[in-house]
Amino acid sequence: MKTRMTALYHCPACGAAIPADRPIWRCACGSHLNLAPGRGLGRGEIAESDASLWRYRDALALGSRPRVSLGEGWTPLVERRWAGVSVHFKLESQMPTGSFKDRGTAVMLNHLLEVGVGRVHEDSSGNAGSSIATYAAAAGLPCRIYVPETAPRGKIVQIAAAGAEVRMIPGTRQAVTEAALAAVDESFYASHNWHPFFIEGTKTLAYELWEQLGFAVPDNILVPTGYGSNILGLDRGFDELEGRGEITRRPRLFAVQAANCAAFATAWAAGAADYVSFTPGATAADGIATVRPVRTAEVLRALRRSAGGVVAVPEAEIAPALRALGRLGLFVEPTAATAGAALSRLLRDGTIQADETTIVVLTGHGLKATDKIAELLGI
């Protein structure tokens, strides 16, 4: 790994530029921070012997080689037929903890180790919590996860099995976040929704798709979207590849949301550049039931820039999509199944054509939510 200058955080609210060599998760002004554009990497710099996301380590804003890895990344890209059309499914569900979060967590945790963080905590509806609990365990860091009382049991069990302390919080998802915020003096808030290094990790999804397609760019990428870390990661990754002259065009990015709780779809429909308030309802897609995304404006900008869009999936379409995916050999949680439902919609209305290269990102494994799946499918 090459030595490089310390990466910089940039604050979109007050314009501060802060070296990324200290344990912070937001700006002193209260805003989230973003990492300044990275150097990227050319195809000759891929560490080909490493069958994990660390094959792209030269593109990552870390100071040294990773100290903790569970083999995350380099997930399968599987071609299957959907509604008569050939589609590539990206199985992020096959990460060490069963969800895409490990991409962001592994890179964030290694950064936190570099800047001397000890104890960590986080709030999560489940997948990020199990991911951070698992990587904290691997790194030997004490960890506490705040979860909603209603979080899927499988995910809570996973957090506890990793040795993390589980704090169940009654009330709304926002109440869970507030409980985590109240603990910032006790330990480091390793928030996957706030910390810029989480997106530094998810950007490796762009590199992986590009390499797995034979150094080519797909036409469309569909991603279940709650806070938008995969959309931002893909945007950042393709930005870097374009900056290095490795690609000359960009894929259309489609954020998939549950219509019952769709912050980006609401803003998109209003033609807004930033957050528009809405009334959230219940959804089986618990992993993307986000009421107040941290980087709304950045996500909307990335979607517009890509000439993609937002798809809001009605609740009634989630179970049929989950069943159809299962029968293709793709057992996923309800949140991930929304991407299948969205693909059906985009094919039906002609937004996506049969001869295009389309990626459907399956973000979480079905084994995480068997209770909910049994209920949905009447098993």
**Least distance to Zn ion, CB of residue 322, Å:** 41
Q: 216 to 255, contacts with Zn ion by CB under 5 A?
A: none
- Candidates 25-33, 77-85, 178-186, 200-208; binding stretch for Zn ion (CB under 5 A): 25-33
Measured from the CB atom, the residue of 31 and 357 that comes closer to Zn ion is: 31
Q: Which of 1, 19, 22, 29 binds Zn ion (CB under 5 A)?
A: 29
Q: Which of 9, 20, 26, 27 binds Zn ion (CB under 5 A)?
A: 27
Alpha helical stretches, state H, 1-146:
101-114, 127-139
**Least distance to Zn ion, CB of residue 18, Å:** 9
Q: Please give the Cα distance from 257 to 303 (Å, whole number).
A: 13
Q: 150 to 179, contacts with Zn ion by CB under 5 A?
A: none
Measured from the CB atom, the residue of 22 and 305 that comes closer to Zn ion is: 22
Q: Which of 10, 31, 58, 139 binds Zn ion (CB under 5 A)?
A: 31
Measured from the CB atom, the residue of 9 and 54 that comes closer to Zn ion is: 9
Alpha helical stretches, state H, the chain:
101-114, 127-139, 153-161, 173-181, 196-202, 204-212, 229-243, 263-269, 296-305, 318-326, 334-348, 370-377
Measured from the CB atom, the residue of 11 and 162 that comes closer to Zn ion is: 11
51, two tokens: 């069958």
**Least distance to Zn ion, CB of residue 252, Å:** 32
Both ends of the chain: CA-CA distance in Å? 50
Alpha carbon distances (Å) from 179 to 114, 159, 166, 171, 336: 27, 17, 12, 11, 27
**Least distance to Zn ion, CB of residue 20, Å:** 14
Buried b / exposed e over 356-374, threshold 16 CB at 10 Å, is: bbbbbbbbbbbebbeebbe
**Least distance to Zn ion, CB of residue 29, Å:** 3
- SS3 state of residue 81: strand
**Least distance to Zn ion, CB of residue 33, Å:** 7
**Least distance to Zn ion, CB of residue 115, Å:** 19
Measured from the CB atom, the residue of 29 and 216 that comes closer to Zn ion is: 29
Alpha carbon distances (Å) from 300 to 255, 297, 310: 9, 5, 9
Q: 3 to 22, contacts with Zn ion by CB under 5 A?
A: 11, 13-14, 16
Rule CB under 5 A: is residue 294 a binding residue for Zn ion?
Answer: no
- Residue 169 is which amino acid? I
Measured from the CB atom, the residue of 29 and 161 that comes closer to Zn ion is: 29
Measured from the CB atom, the residue of 274 and 375 that comes closer to Zn ion is: 274
Matching residue, tokens 């989230």: 32
Query: Could you give the strand order of the β-sheet that contains 34-35, starting from the edge strand earlier in sequence?
Result: 17-19, 8-10, 34-35
Measured from the CB atom, the residue of 54 and 194 that comes closer to Zn ion is: 194
- Candidates 23-31, 197-205, 332-340, 365-373; binding stretch for Zn ion (CB under 5 A): 23-31
Chain Cα centroid distance, residue 348: 27
- SS3 state of residue 19: strand
The Cβ of residue 5 has, within 10 Å, a number of other Cβ atoms equal to 9
- Compute how many residues bind Zn ion; rule: CB under 5 A: 7
Decide: 205 and 100 in contact? Cβ < 8 Å: yes
**Least distance to Zn ion, CB of residue 31, Å:** 5
**Least distance to Zn ion, CB of residue 124, Å:** 25
Contacts with Zn ion, residue ranges (CB under 5 A): 11, 13-14, 16, 27, 29, 31
